[in-house]
Structure 1
């Protein structure tokens, strides 16, 4: 297990930006959601698989990813990660061994 943890440090080569949702009243009883930058950090992005769905009569592809980074307490489902022009919506985040060393996120790539 120690070998895997050491290898993961060198694998964190992608500079990701953490985005948090901000909701503002739209004046009509609803809200407008936007995302603001919270932090930037190094992470490892791994492809898990993909799927195709039909939405409004046309095929749409989704990709699932595992994103590993150093532990931080402000990352949870509902936030997004940006890698250049790519956006990942966090579906789940967990500390695999409870040691607050690594955080593993399951994410889905989204198109803005």
Structure 2
């Protein structure tokens, strides 16, 4: 597979990579907290928007493609954040099997 050209200058958005941790509060109830793992530079491209049906309610859904430098410590259980915008990682792949870049398909969570 030929190497894919990605302009490194297009990785101009700083995002925070976060991992979920589950802890028990004072009453013993489990609480999900998000912990910052790293700061990464990425390119964010909107892909599509639509409605996701949850029960009888339609929720707006926006998906993006986020390209960043390869990291071996990213999993689909993590998320990326830019300020108040939160991107839940759906899929990850190396676009040209070169180990240089990582492309994430993400869903922007509505607030």
**For this structure pair, what is the TM-score category when the shorter chain's length is used for normalisation?**
0.7 to 0.9
Show the counterpart of 1:63.
62
Show the counterpart of 2:5.
4
Question: Tell me, which stretches of 5 or more residues in structure 2 are unaligned?
Answer: none
**Which stretches of structure 1, 4 residues or more, deviate above 6 A after TM superposition?**
none
Alignment of 1:12-91 (within 5 A): 12-26=11-25, 27-28=28-29, 31-55=30-54, 57-91=56-90
Q: Which has the higher helix share?
A: 1
Residues of 1 paired with 2:53 and 2:94: CA distance? 34
Question: Tell me, which stretches of 5 or more residues in structure 1 are unaligned?
Answer: none
Residues of 2 paired with 1:2 and 1:45: CA distance? 21
| Aligned-residue CA RMSD (Å) | 1.9
The normalised TM-score by structure 1 is 0.85
Residues of 2 paired with 1:107 and 1:56: CA distance? 22
1:56 shift after superposition: 5.6
